[in-house]
Chains A and B, each alone.
Chain A
């Protein structure tokens, strides 16, 4: 099993550009979520999904969109990148909400 795979690992964007952060899991987990982590801070929930076709907003959803067309994939879209979105992004998945498996993260810099 590959677990939770995030791509890319690093990305530099210019202000106003859009991009999609990819997240894929091969564990047949229903629950998936996206977090961002700013320096010296804990993770904050952006969006989450409780199954294919079902998504909802977390604590800091503004500027991000998600979709869940399959159980395996949960991409995060930045609509118009801003410097405030410079952060490390983590995707996570779980079978039963108890033990989430996290990806290794995407380090995003917006200049």
Chain B
């Protein structure tokens, strides 16, 4: 089963870019890399996903290493509202269950 490794926490300043790393060295060639975030007292929120090439949407960018063993979620200009726990997730949980596997994620702290 694919597993991911993320730093427990990161801190950044408001209006600066934030790079959130994720290691997924065991990911298979057809697994998409997904990112979700969870704001305080809310349910998780889909952020972005990708397979091989870099991806952009209105929330963030996803840079995927050429060997696909790691990826970086990029918030181009962090705001206080981006303070959340960010989860890098392989597509399916262990045992073939059709759901998401959440680790502890990275707690992103934004300083004003």
Contact = CB atoms under 8 A, between A and B. Distances in A.
Interface of B is mostly: loop
Contacts of B36: 100
Given A42-B104, A90-B43, A100-B46, A50 B87 contact: no
Interface residues of B, number: 23
Contacts of A31: 98
B77 to A, nearest CB: 23
Contact of B100 (A41, A43, A101, A103): A43
Contacts of B103: 42
A90 B100 CA distance: 12
Interface in B75-112: 87, 91, 93-95, 97-105
B44 A97 contact: no
Given A100-B46, A104-B42, A33 B102 contact: no
Given A42-B87, A97-B91, A98-B32, A90 B44 contact: yes
B34 interface: yes
Contacts of B99: 33, 35, 45, 48, 58
Contact of B94 (A59, A99, A101, A102): A59
B93 to A, nearest CB: 5
B93 A101 contact: no
Interface size class of A (residues with CB under 8 A): 20 to 34
19 contacts: A33-B99, A33-B100, A35-B100, A43-B44, A43-B102, A45-B97, A45-B100, A48-B98, A58-B97, A59-B95, A90-B43, A92-B43, A92-B44, A97-B98, A98-B32, A100-B36, A101-B46, A102-B43, A104-B42
Interface of A: 31, 33, 35, 40-45, 48, 50, 56-59, 90, 92, 97-105
